[in-house]
Chain A
Amino acid sequence: MHTLRFTPRKMFLVALLPALGMWGLTSCGEDQPAAPVVETPAYDPEGMGDASRTNTIKKIFYAAPSPMETAALVQRSGAKFDKKHLHAAAARTQYTTSDRQAVALGIYGADLSYATIFEENSVSLDYLTAIKDLSKSLGISDVLNDQVMAQAEANRGNREALIQLVSETFSSLNETLKENGMEDLSAMLVLGGWVEGVYLATQHIPQSPTELKARIAEQKLTLDDVMRLCRSYEATPELTALIAAMAPVEAAFAQVEVTSAEGFAEQSADGGFVVGGGDEIKASDATLAAITAAVKQVRGGMVK
């Protein structure tokens, strides 16, 4: 009969094997695979340590403009706030699966951004509560805790403070989802937010036709950002289905005309610079009607 004896050397190996396994499972996502580990890094609280790999990589970051930026475009066009376009905050209880909750979180986030930009602060607080409830359902309730809610309540008359709070909250939600290994849900949140942001913009076309038509046509580029971001994550069945559901929107935006033109950058007096020129983006009324219909259809499949 064999007796299993745990010498310090064996115990070291037993502890090291799961560590190597976990490292292998969690270090995906870069363009090139990392080299085998050379030593155990000791991290300081400032985010540095001994290198855990020797080969260099090219890390690709995926990002998209935030719904707050889209809402600001709508406001700058001269459009007026209209609550009837928002998805009802009370519907939050209808979302019971994590994928639907993540998409709804994005949709409510865009509604919140829209209300906040237009300084409809009481509406903003309703949506913040809806987002808090959905975050709790997704197991990331620590982001929108009582302290943040109290801060929002205390600043309900301060538009700029609320804009900062909303942006930081969504940045933290995004981080937390990614950190907890729920990157697919993070992508769904971004996608839901994009659809709602563009949906709200299309609903205001009659109020500011010239300006908004041009801004909506330009969303061809942001759609490209969002779809690239979504496709960069692991293709879970739910994310794959959501990407497939975007086909009508992609088809409608494919009709937007892009004319190649030279860009330029000029120094500005404050030490920064101004970027101008670049490709000219135009959409006919028929294309805008197709975009409006496609976005409405896709949003209809996302909300309950």
Chain B
Amino acid sequence: MTTLFTPRSFANWTLTLGLLLSTWAFLPSHADAQCRAFTKKTCMPIMEGYTLNENYNSAILIPGDQAELLLTFLGGTNYRLAICSHPVLGDVQFEILDAKGKTLFNSVKAGGADKVDFRVQTTQQLRVNILVPPTKSAIQHEGCVSVLIGTKN
């Protein structure tokens, strides 16, 4: 007589299911989906009153990682730039530089700001440099970092 579920086969199937679930959690697409959910829930409210630029700029970063965004900002427009990151990453720093590398804004000098409002008088490309502060902690975490840009007339 054949038995479909012996205690041993049940244990094997449980192990397989567990492994498949952890594989799913392991895939970057799953991490991206979590990042998207984080951005929607936590970051979007920061942009209230501003119309979001239609680009989606988010990534899973670890301490010590850097990110960069180069974008043209149009003259006569009011902008809000927000760097929204998971608290596990600490105080993520950012600076805005003009095309010649001159620093226009530094979040550390602005008291650890996570967003800045500015008006661009003349169209120009600006560079945003982002740094996730390194940590000496033995256990490293990774978290979502989103760059949000909005405009207001």
The chain A residues found within 8 Å of chain B, CB to CB, are 6, 8, 11-12, 15-16, 18-19, 22-23, 26-27, 37, 40-54, 56-69, 72-73, 76, 109, 163-164, 167-168, 170-171, 174-175, 178-179, 181, 190, 193, 215, 218, 221-222, 224-225, 228, 262-263, 265, 268, 270-279, 281
From known contacts A63-B53, A170-B54, infer whether A263 and B102 are also in contact, taking CB-CB under 8 Å. Answer: yes
Q: Tell me how far the C-beta of B108 lies from the nearest C-beta in chain A, rounded to whole angstroms.
A: 16
From known contacts A64-B71, A275-B124, infer whether A59 and B26 are also in contact, taking CB-CB under 8 Å. Answer: no
Which chain B residue lies CB-closest to A30? B59
Per CB-CB distance, the 7 closest pairs between chain A and chain B, nearest first, are A47-B38, A47-B144, A15-B19, A272-B117, A51-B140, A56-B64, A48-B143
Which chain B residue lies CB-closest to A175? B56
Q: Tell me how far the C-beta of B31 lies from the nearest C-beta in chain A, rounded to whole angstroms.
A: 6
Which chain A residue lies CB-closest to B68? A60
Listed by A's residue number, 24 A-B pairs whose Cβ atoms lie within 8 Å are: A19-B23, A26-B27, A41-B142, A42-B22, A47-B39, A48-B88, A51-B62, A51-B142, A61-B59, A63-B57, A64-B71, A66-B53, A68-B151, A163-B51, A171-B53, A171-B56, A218-B72, A221-B124, A225-B72, A265-B104, A268-B118, A272-B119, A274-B118, A275-B121
Within 8 A of A (CB), among B54-111: 54-57, 59-77, 86, 88-89, 98-100, 102, 104-105
Q: Tell me how far the C-beta of B105 lies from the nearest C-beta in chain A, rounded to whole angstroms.
A: 6
A105 to B29, CA, bound (A): 24
Can you add 18 more A-B contacts, CB < 8 Å, to A61-B68, A65-B53, A268-B118?
A19-B26, A22-B27, A45-B34, A45-B37, A58-B66, A59-B66, A63-B57, A65-B71, A68-B151, A174-B54, A215-B123, A218-B72, A218-B74, A221-B72, A222-B74, A263-B104, A276-B122, A279-B99
A49 to B33, CA, bound (A): 13
Q: Tell me how far the C-beta of B30 lies from the nearest C-beta in chain A, rounded to whole angstroms.
A: 7
A40 to B23, CA, bound (A): 8
A263 and B124: CB pair below 8 A?
yes
The chain B residues found within 8 Å of chain A, CB to CB, are 11-12, 15-16, 19-20, 22-23, 25-39, 41-42, 51-57, 59-77, 86, 88-89, 98-100, 102, 104-105, 116-126, 134, 139-144, 147, 149, 151, 153
CB neighbours of B26 from chain A (8 A): 19, 23, 37, 40-41, 52
Which chain B residue lies CB-closest to A221? B72
CB neighbours of B105 from chain A (8 A): 265, 273
Which chain A residue lies CB-closest to B116? A272
A147 to B51, CA, bound (A): 20
B12 and A69: CB pair below 8 A?
no
Q: Tell me how far the C-beta of B93 lies from the nearest C-beta in chain A, rounded to whole angstroms.
A: 14
A11 and B19: CB pair below 8 A?
yes
Q: Tell me how far the C-beta of B39 lies from the nearest C-beta in chain A, rounded to whole angstroms.
A: 8
From known contacts A49-B142, A59-B65, A59-B67, infer whether A277 and B36 are also in contact, taking CB-CB under 8 Å. Answer: no
Q: Tell me how far the C-beta of A7 lies from the nearest C-beta in chain B, rounded to whole angstroms.
A: 9
CB neighbours of B61 from chain A (8 A): 57, 59
CB neighbours of A16 from chain B (8 A): 19, 23
A16 to B123, CA, bound (A): 51
Which chain B residue lies CB-closest to A53? B62
B86 and A46: CB pair below 8 A?
yes
Q: Tell me how far the C-beta of A259 lies from the nearest C-beta in chain B, rounded to whole angstroms.
A: 12
A240 to B124, CA, bound (A): 28
A69 and B30: CB pair below 8 A?
no
B86 and A263: CB pair below 8 A?
no
CB neighbours of B77 from chain A (8 A): 69, 72
